[in-house]
Chain A
């Protein structure tokens, strides 16, 4: 405790800065850092070193080597650099390494040295070569800015969505600027450059000269400039040894500091944190490190070794060949608690807890003191917060113990903050571990972009699947967001192991993943296909429970027929249709039809489509199958729908009839031929008699003829088309009755014996309300229907007589039911008597 603040250095009155060791580096470097191109990713990310970057020799041993290490110096990858000379290295926000070559090409590598892709910064850059390059981060992603040999700038604000922007020329710029940096204001990336005593601000429209307010006079050149992590502040180092600090908009000056050193610093970075009390800049020379803020004195450190500074959100990481340290402003909570002679509630609580462990009654005194001031809640909160900022687990623990001790004396202290802090610290301590090497601070983890999801992604990126899964399980993340996502990533990595056989990979993946919800086998299969392992992809797809998901990939892999059967299996007609159209374009017509033939469901679907959109194809389909029956139907339909002229229709019918013959459907063929004859005849009738005949049925044609008084013609028609007698009689009967041509009807009825009996005559006459005529026929009706006929014409009495004569019970009751009221009273009696008699017998 006594020495706990030993590494605290005051800057001005209000703030303390401390520097502590994160790791001792494991990398065993042979070269000095200054001989390498160095790039370290923010948020405790990896470090890339390019050794021998400037050697031009072609001998293998002397080629540049690209090494990638974790923040603790564990080697992640090492590869021989075989491409062109590299000007600058940098990490993107997704932890991809961007290597900017002299010719403007940017090569993108993964964390494990795997080549991802490359892109070019444009022709102008290619011609003029790259003089200098910066990789910068904005809220949209990671950008690249390039200074070409022609002293022009080209930048792209987001390498994920590459849009090159050539910045305007700086008037009169003859030599390279002494220093420059990228700014980001109002969501636009800009470039600030210093040429001699002048500063210029470039945005994509214009170049404007700017002057920092309140700059000490006598500056003839700017040696270094630094912009803060959040692009809010700017620091300028002048050749007069002054450091000017102000806002990045150059509208306001914060302070100016004379460090009395005129040598250009090696690096200058901001060291501040959100809501920090003091804004400070860290300046590094070869052997000296200086923290400068708005205070007359600066803090000075001696650098034993060649060091490299990495600006972070809440401090600066400093690594050298042997160590990796973190320099930051002591957070408020820690300061309150640990400041010498602090009487802050948190400090008292920590003390109370310690006394309590010593079983001293002082514990009670301290506690009372806090309680009397009513600050216990605040004390607990302070302890919890301070625990988050501590790096050493021991100190974290004692602070948390104090918090938990204080909580006992509080009635309703919400437990969330304490629980979350414990969880977060466990996670953070786990990833800070030497083997993992992600030195995240609590603030970075909690307050900024880095959520647990991103942290998990980073672990996955480092292929630390087990740890990631443990964290998910510890935090009880839902499976879909947590474990299954990680397993899916693992599987995607697994398929890239080319030395393992397809079968083994597929089995291993299935064993691990099983039916974990949220894992998409088709995604993994897509990855396998991406690696050129089609067979493996197909095997993996077999595990995909949703056949619908399998189809798009199968199509991509040109396994269209398999895709078709999978689509059919899925029962999703839309999917089937998609595959069909795909197949249609891919295969020649014959093969396409053959495929369809084996898939009736697809075939019927396609037919449906053709029926509406591609009639000709439909015909071809039937032709291909020798489906003459359907072909015949097709032509019949055509004769009604498509053809207007009689000749065309007859021709279509002829084709149809031929098809029907081929299909051995004699009936349909004959019917079609009859129709052709009928059509021709109807045409003739229209020409000769006028009126409308076309498209009438045979029956209606005959009826129309009779109604028109063309009896002869009608009979001829009946003979020609072999209309059965029964129909002809019905037809004539109805037509004549409609004409009310009773005379002709009677003549007709007597022409020969009616094949339909005479009851219909009675019925039809009654329908026309002609009782007189009806009665004529009633007498001729056969005995079985006589009663019915008589009842129809209303002759109840006679009907009764006939029924009695027939001794037919059913007929008797029928007549009886027709007996109404008084008029038929006698008849009713008669029937009753007859019944009684019948029963007697």
Chain B
């Protein structure tokens, strides 16, 4: 069952323009060289190409620079001279050039930039494909990507008109927003007078809502991501799915008619839907019988291809479902979900703790165990000292002592913390808030302020009514609210915030929530007063997730859009899920 959009839902802007722009620029960059002979992946091993020119297309990371330096220096030793060109995407960093210089090859390479920052993964989903954003910013306190975000927003506003209403929450959101405004001011006049296509923009830091990202996903697209890992909008279905002996790379987006109808569905509905679909398909095939020649000709020339295509997709998704079912039942998925829900609702904490302990003892999965520990910590405002120590000890015994560093990272990011005795906490808190109110300090980022940050999840949950009261069974076939993406147990916090702010058109009345989120300084609204924006564009909303968003959040907001007649567009630094978050925090030697 697909939800039809309200008939008055606004049209989505055409994002293929972004692709065209990027493509043309890359072609231009490459044409300055000679023709491209072969593509290699940048890995730490010698390039086998015997060409006279090498062109590297890389992210601006120091690691990549070292790789290039090694390669060039190896060539030098071997006495061969080649031309080298490094194309940085989306931009060049001074630090990278520094490394090239320190390695003594700055003069040997020429550098270029490919400003490809926005990849349209789908009609309503733009990704910057910067998974490193999360670790760099939220763990290392490195702000280099903020500029990239601001550039991306600038590009969007030049292409699709300025955004009349802006909201945001989070430190990074605020910085990106301010930087972007600066860019707009510098290039005044270009976007002026254009009718805005997108009415609202909402910027959101990932650390405002870690909880949602840490939950197991049960909406089909999210589940596929959790199980098979969707990369750049496509997924590798292994032999167990394709029911043949080779894997298949499948593009997952709105083009895939079958997928488009089930992507936002709760998993429990998917099978039913797919079998219904299969029956319909069969019926359409069956129409062949009793056709005369002319009808048959029509059928073959017009419908058959579509049916076959649909048939292929259908069998793929059924295969995927089966495979998911197999995997999930093996690990007591029900039990896991139950524990998660208990954590979200805040009851039976002891039981959940021992479940997690058992999870660790049985070495089920290092990433999963870690995720559960974080979820426990965040929902409970940190672990009580005894649990904090014992869980960590257990974890180290199970998965190796090098995770000591992982724990230090998680602590720094505020994902896994220890409950401090009440009074010292408030002391630290007041100190931090003082620091933050001080204007100079407000501008600087202090990645460590999260040390003393309390998640206050329980209080927020109560305030925003995140745990819906259910009378009887929650009917997942006919969702009532966004909670359906978590089986009716929990409304994603991030989506709820977006909903509330849009309803109020400001943060008014949400002061308490904002305070509880530790974002008093970083919640902002900015509206242009002129009424140029047509009512249509006002219902087109761009939500920017800084640090990644999950498919569940996307599904939830798509649902909200259908309910309220909005259309949401998503811009994320990368699509993420709980496993990716945890991996970003892990510090296990390679």
A interface residues (Cβ-Cβ under 8 A, vs B): 517, 545-546, 568-569, 571-575, 577-578, 581, 599-601, 604-605, 607-609, 612-613, 629, 633, 636-637, 640-641, 667-668, 671-672, 674-675, 678, 695-700, 721, 723-724, 726-727, 730-731, 734, 756
- The 0/1 profile, CB within 8 Å of A marked 1, for residues 355-393 of chain B is 001100111000000000000000000000000010011
Contact indicator A697/B141 (Cβ below 8 Å): no
Supply 10 A–B pairs (Cβ within 8 Å), ascending by A. A568-B443, A573-B93, A574-B95, A577-B94, A601-B445, A604-B141, A608-B62, A613-B98, A636-B402, A726-B357
Contact indicator A675/B401 (Cβ below 8 Å): yes
Cβ < 8 Å to A, chain B residues 151-188 = 175, 178-179, 182, 185-186, 188
Contact indicator A671/B393 (Cβ below 8 Å): yes
Contact indicator B361/A727 (Cβ below 8 Å): yes
- The 0/1 profile, CB within 8 Å of A marked 1, for residues 136-153 of chain B is 100011111011001000
Interface contacts beyond A573-B142, A612-B62: sample of 16 additional A-B pairs, CB < 8 Å, sorted by A? A601-B445, A604-B140, A608-B62, A608-B142, A629-B408, A633-B405, A640-B402, A641-B589, A667-B393, A671-B401, A674-B396, A675-B404, A699-B399, A730-B358, A730-B361, A730-B362
Contact indicator B399/A572 (Cβ below 8 Å): no
C-alpha spacing A627/B268, complex, angstroms: 51
Q: Knowing A545-B185, A629-B408, A727-B394, say if A600 contacts B445 (CB, 8 Å).
A: yes
Q: Knowing A633-B405, A641-B589, say if A601 contacts B141 (CB, 8 Å).
A: yes
C-alpha spacing A696/B363, complex, angstroms: 13
- Among B102, B144, B444, B447, point to the contact of A568 (Cβ < 8 A): B444
Is the CB of B506 closer than 8 A to any CB of chain A? Answer: no
Give B581 Cβ to nearest chain A Cβ, in Å: 20
B interface residues (Cβ-Cβ under 8 A, vs A): 62-63, 66, 93-95, 98-99, 102, 136, 140-144, 146-147, 150, 175, 178-179, 182, 185-186, 188, 357-358, 361-363, 389, 392-394, 396-402, 404-405, 408, 443-448, 587, 589
- Among B63, B98, B397, B405, point to the contact of A727 (Cβ < 8 A): B397
CB-CB under 8 A from B399, the residues of chain A are 697, 699
Q: Knowing A578-B94, A726-B357, say if A608 contacts B140 (CB, 8 Å).
A: yes
Give A609 Cβ to nearest chain B Cβ, in Å: 5
C-alpha spacing A609/B398, complex, angstroms: 33
C-alpha spacing A699/B98, complex, angstroms: 44
C-alpha spacing A678/B146, complex, angstroms: 43
CB-CB under 8 A from B444, the residues of chain A are 568, 599-601
Q: Knowing A641-B589, A672-B404, say if A600 contacts B398 (CB, 8 Å).
A: no
- Among A571, A609, A633, A640, point to the contact of B175 (Cβ < 8 A): A571
Chain B, residue nearest A696 (CB): B400
Q: Please name the 9 residue pairs, one residue from A and one from B, whose CB atoms are nearest each other, closest first.
A: A604-B141, A573-B144, A697-B400, A612-B62, A675-B401, A574-B94, A698-B397, A640-B589, A571-B179
Chain B, residue nearest A545 (CB): B185
Contact indicator B447/A517 (Cβ below 8 Å): no
C-alpha spacing A387/B447, complex, angstroms: 73
Q: Knowing A601-B445, A637-B587, say if A581 contacts B98 (CB, 8 Å).
A: yes
CB-CB under 8 A from A578, the residues of chain B are 94
Contact indicator B179/A723 (Cβ below 8 Å): no
Give B135 Cβ to nearest chain A Cβ, in Å: 11
Contact indicator B404/A574 (Cβ below 8 Å): no
C-alpha spacing A446/B52, complex, angstroms: 51
Contact indicator B357/A609 (Cβ below 8 Å): no
Chain B, residue nearest A608 (CB): B142
C-alpha spacing A724/B396, complex, angstroms: 13
Give A583 Cβ to nearest chain B Cβ, in Å: 14
Contact indicator A633/B443 (Cβ below 8 Å): no
- Among A640, A668, A695, A699, point to the contact of B397 (Cβ < 8 A): A699
CB-CB under 8 A from B94, the residues of chain A are 574-575, 577-578
Contact indicator A600/B447 (Cβ below 8 Å): yes
CB-CB under 8 A from B393, the residues of chain A are 667, 671
C-alpha spacing A559/B392, complex, angstroms: 48
Looking at B175, B401, B408, B589, which has the most chain A CB atoms within 10 Å of its CB? B401
Chain B, residue nearest A641 (CB): B589
Give B436 Cβ to nearest chain A Cβ, in Å: 13
Give B457 Cβ to nearest chain A Cβ, in Å: 24
Looking at B95, B357, B447, which has the most chain A CB atoms within 10 Å of its CB? B95
CB-CB under 8 A from A571, the residues of chain B are 143, 146-147, 150, 175, 178-179, 182
Contact indicator A633/B361 (Cβ below 8 Å): no
C-alpha spacing A600/B435, complex, angstroms: 13
Chain B, residue nearest A672 (CB): B404
CB-CB under 8 A from B143, the residues of chain A are 571, 573, 601, 605
C-alpha spacing A601/B175, complex, angstroms: 13
Looking at B63, B186, B363, B447, which has the most chain A CB atoms within 10 Å of its CB? B363
CB-CB under 8 A from A756, the residues of chain B are 358
CB-CB under 8 A from A734, the residues of chain B are 362
C-alpha spacing A604/B66, complex, angstroms: 21
CB-CB under 8 A from B178, the residues of chain A are 571
CB-CB under 8 A from B140, the residues of chain A are 604, 607-608
C-alpha spacing A212/B354, complex, angstroms: 111
Contact indicator B98/A577 (Cβ below 8 Å): yes
Contact indicator B98/A573 (Cβ below 8 Å): no
C-alpha spacing A640/B589, complex, angstroms: 7
Contact indicator B144/A605 (Cβ below 8 Å): yes
Q: Knowing A578-B94, A612-B66, A734-B362, say if A637 contacts B445 (CB, 8 Å).
A: no
Give B105 Cβ to nearest chain A Cβ, in Å: 14
CB-CB under 8 A from B186, the residues of chain A are 545-546
Contact indicator B144/A678 (Cβ below 8 Å): no
C-alpha spacing A700/B401, complex, angstroms: 12
Chain B, residue nearest A606 (CB): B95
CB-CB under 8 A from A641, the residues of chain B are 589
CB-CB under 8 A from A678, the residues of chain B are 401
C-alpha spacing A568/B440, complex, angstroms: 11
C-alpha spacing A34/B175, complex, angstroms: 71
Q: Knowing A672-B404, A695-B400, say if A613 contacts B147 (CB, 8 Å).
A: no
